[in-house]
């Protein structure tokens, strides 16, 4: 849970946990233990690199809601706006221009919100 909170932030994690039901509890446990406890905690890649990979995968899958969440995480993990832009440009070549177009729009919303909150 520690890594999940560090990467996604307490607000997101608390909201996800509050929405947990008897039906979704096992899934929440699964992602907490495996995604955050096992994969994101491995020493082989730093969090910045993991964020880049995650952004690219979400562009490829067209999962914009998750992409927005992970753009926030990427900023939290130390990626700059320019680095996120480069990841999305790179993804445009390998995932397709329409997917990247949607990803840029989603990322721009998150970055604008982040800039407002930082001011």
Q: Give the mean model confidence (pLDDT) for residues 69-93.
A: 98
pTM of the model: 0.93
Helix (H, G, I), strand (E, B) or coil at 23: coil
What pLDDT was estimated at residue 34? Answer: 96
Whether 2 shows a pLDDT value over 90: the answer reads yes
The pair phi, psi for residue 45, each rounded to 5°, is -135, 145
Q: Would you tell me which CATH number, out of the four given (1.20.1290.10, 2.40.160.20, 3.40.50.720, 1.10.260.40), belongs to the domain 45-119?
A: 1.20.1290.10
Each residue's pLDDT tens digit, 8-67: 999 999 999 999 999 999 999 999 999 999 999 999 999 999 999 999 999 999 999 999
Task: Give DSSP secondary structure letters for 27-66.
Answer: HHHHIIIIIIIIITT-TTS-HHHHHHHHHHHHHHHT-HHH
Q: Please, what sign has the CA dihedral across residues 98, 87, 112, 106?
A: positive
Which residues make Cβ contacts (< 8 Å) with residue 13, sequence separation at least 6? 1, 4, 5
Domain chopping of the chain, boundaries: 1-42, 45-119
What pLDDT was estimated at residue 111? Answer: 98
What pLDDT was estimated at residue 119? Answer: 87
What pLDDT was estimated at residue 55? Answer: 98
């Amino acid at each position: 849970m520690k890594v999940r909170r560090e990467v996604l932030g307490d607000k997101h994690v608390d909201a996800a946990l509050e929405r947990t039901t008897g039906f979704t509890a096992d899934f929440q446990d699964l992602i907490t233990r495996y995604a955050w406890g096992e994969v994101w905690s491995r020493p082989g890649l730093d969090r910045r690199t993991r964020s880049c990979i995650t952004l690219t995968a979400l562009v490829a899958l067209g999962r914009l809601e998750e992409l927005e969440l992970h753009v926030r995480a990427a900023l939290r993990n130390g990626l700059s706006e320019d680095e996120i832009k480069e990841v999305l440009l790179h993804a445009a070549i390998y995932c397709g221009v329409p997917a990247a177009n949607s990803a840029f729009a989603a990322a721009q919303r998150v970055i604008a919100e982040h800039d407002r909150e930082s001011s």
